[in-house]
Amino acid sequence: MDWPAIRERAFGRIDPLHERAAAHRRSQGIDVFLGEARFVAPKVLKVRADEISAERFVLAADSRPSIPPIDGLAQVPYLTSDTVMRLDRLPKSMVVLGCGYIAAEMSHIFGSPGTKVTIVARGEEFLSRHDTDIRARFTKCYQERSDVRLGATVTRAVKTRTGVRLDLVTPSGAQAEGEVLLVAAGRVPNSDRLNVAAAAIDTDAHGHVRTDNTYQTNVPGIWALGDLANHFQLKHMANAETRLVLHNLLHPGQPRRAAFTVVPSAVFADPQVASVGATEQELQAHGRPYVCATRSYCDAAYGWALEDTTSFVKVLADSATGLLLGAHILGPQTSTLIQPLVQAMCLGNTADQLASGVLYSPGAHRGGGAGPARPLNQHPVPGCCSAHITEEAPAMKPDATVVHTGARCPPWSRPGEAVRLFGRGVTVRSSLPVAAVVGCVLSAINEGPRISGGHAGWLTWAQVGLNFVVPFLVASYGYLTAARVPGGTSGAATAR
């Protein structure tokens, strides 16, 4: 692997963005002050020698890696998620301190090309905030490929002749040594460095700036967003918050309020993990009745073709209403497969509705209900695929096409097979299951809900997307439905 070429390709694109952004803003007549900023009084900010006062502030000061108080750590060279990708070469060995999503992803990035990875963590499982079944399976997968030291207490960090050593108290070894040390113990908001206390701005126990549902702080005229204010650590959440805050700045008499009730997450490791909604342990802790269905990838043709023995889908639904409460997937392409379930939760689809659609393969599903023609931009589709949205065909014609290129096509589809849809001109070429891609594309195309067939809650694009998701998802919905019907066959579903 040509690591320097990979690094230069990434940072050759990223690094110039800062100067370009500053130059662009200055060209628009905006004053740009570079440097660490701190409040020195209410609504007075100091940046180096400059003091800035204003009636309105928007705080988007991000977060930074959390560095645990370990004896000797300050005296040894260590890396964080901010610096590790800038290594000049692939190290022969790496010690990773932590077992969250950053530790999991970085261990995968460096372990895959051959770096010997040792993972040290005080927890007993990876991904502590995820569903218990996801944590258990993910931990097992990582233990099979890396030297994993769980339940460990680090007593000291020591610089050695060849790298760094951690002294441990753990059942699985007293020391962990590597050429480099990556500290991946979470992130903390930058509210302390911003000195928000001097501006009388409230924070929570974790240091996040408190806001109301318009993202205004307790100080009128000061808004906060992103990692500084929320716990999601998700760029797309910050983007959505930015749009909301911008509107509220420009329209103070008509404020919009946050309604981000369904926020997905993904771990880009091997295996991939994607989740949305409540975990099973959260539902149990709140005493909420639910039904649960779990389905292995290998129970469907696609998973069988991949010879997959570890991946699975887990879906949770309200036992009375059938509304989806949570979904958790471990396996290939989960970050794409989760999207139709995110849409279903946002739109209030029930397990019964999801299970009762026309679902088959191979073949194509046609969604009705075209809207008026209008200009469209190009929309990126998540994952390793590309979408080009045009306005070449008139409305009410089957003008959307999804095409397999032949690379890793699902076993029930042939290269070049087209999926015909109503609405807009769309061409998608992808190595992903076209099922999941269609749902993402259609969500990008449509501006808002359009009810199909007179059934409230059935959005045309959401229904089509959900009907395309690979059969193991469908099977889970069917089990959920059976678990709720008296006398039904429960299969893998359990009611709690």
For residue 14, what are its two tokens? 């990223």
Asked which of 94-98, 258-262, 325-329 is least confident by mean pLDDT, the reply is 258-262
pLDDT band at 420 (very low <50, low <70, confident <90, very high): very low
Distance set, CA 258 to CA 191, 213, 232, 270 (Å): 22, 5, 14, 33
- Return the pLDDT at 472: 42
Residue 287 per-residue DSSP state: T
Model confidence band, residue 68 (pLDDT cutoffs 50, 70, 90): very high
Tokens linked to 463: 């229904």
pTM of the predicted model over 0.85: no
Tens-place pLDDT, residues 157-199: 999 999 999 999 987 668 999 999 999 999 999 999 999 999 9
Backbone torsions φ then ψ of 442, nearest 5 degrees: -65, -35
DSSP letters spanning 164-203:
EEEEEE-TT-SEEEESEEEE-S-EEETHHHHTGGGGT--B
Q: Which two tokens stand for residue 477?
A: 């919905």
Which pLDDT belongs to residue 99? 96
Contacts of 91 (CB under 8 A, 6+ apart): 110, 115, 178, 179, 180
pLDDT band at 152 (very low <50, low <70, confident <90, very high): very high
| Contacts for 267 with CB less than 8 Å, ≥ 6 apart | 101, 104, 105, 127, 138, 273, 274
Q: Report H helices in 73-232.
A: 101-111, 132-145, 191-194
Q: Beta-carbon neighbour count of residue 404 at 10 Å?
A: 22
Question: What is the spatial distance between Cα 46 and Cα 37, in angstroms, rounded to a whole number?
Answer: 6
> Residue 450: pLDDT band by 50, 70, 90 thresholds?
very low
Give the model's confidence band at 358: pLDDT under 50 very low, under 70 low, under 90 confident, else very high: low
Which of 57-71, 210-224, 293-307, 361-375 is predicted least confidently?
361-375
Backbone torsion region of residue 232, taken as left when φ is above 0, otherwise alpha when ψ lies between -120 and 50, otherwise beta: alpha
Pairwise CA distance, residues 180 & 110, whole Å: 11
Query: Can you say how many angstroms the Cα of residue 7 is from the centroid of all Cα atoms in its chain?
Result: 23
Instruction: Using alpha carbons, select from 428, 431, 383, 381 the residue that is nearest to residue 406.
Output: 431
All structural domains of the chain, each given as residue ranges with its CATH number in brackets, are 1-29 (no CATH), 73-185 (3.50.50.60), 265-354+474-495 (3.30.390.30)
- Is 158 buried (19+), middle (13-18) or exposed (0-12) by CB count in 10 A? middle
Mean pLDDT across the chain: 77
Distance CA 495, CA 291 (A): 4
pLDDT of residue 6 exceeding 80, the answer is yes
Residue 465 has pLDDT above 60, yes or no: no
Write the pLDDT tens digit of every residue in 467-481: 334 334 434 444 443
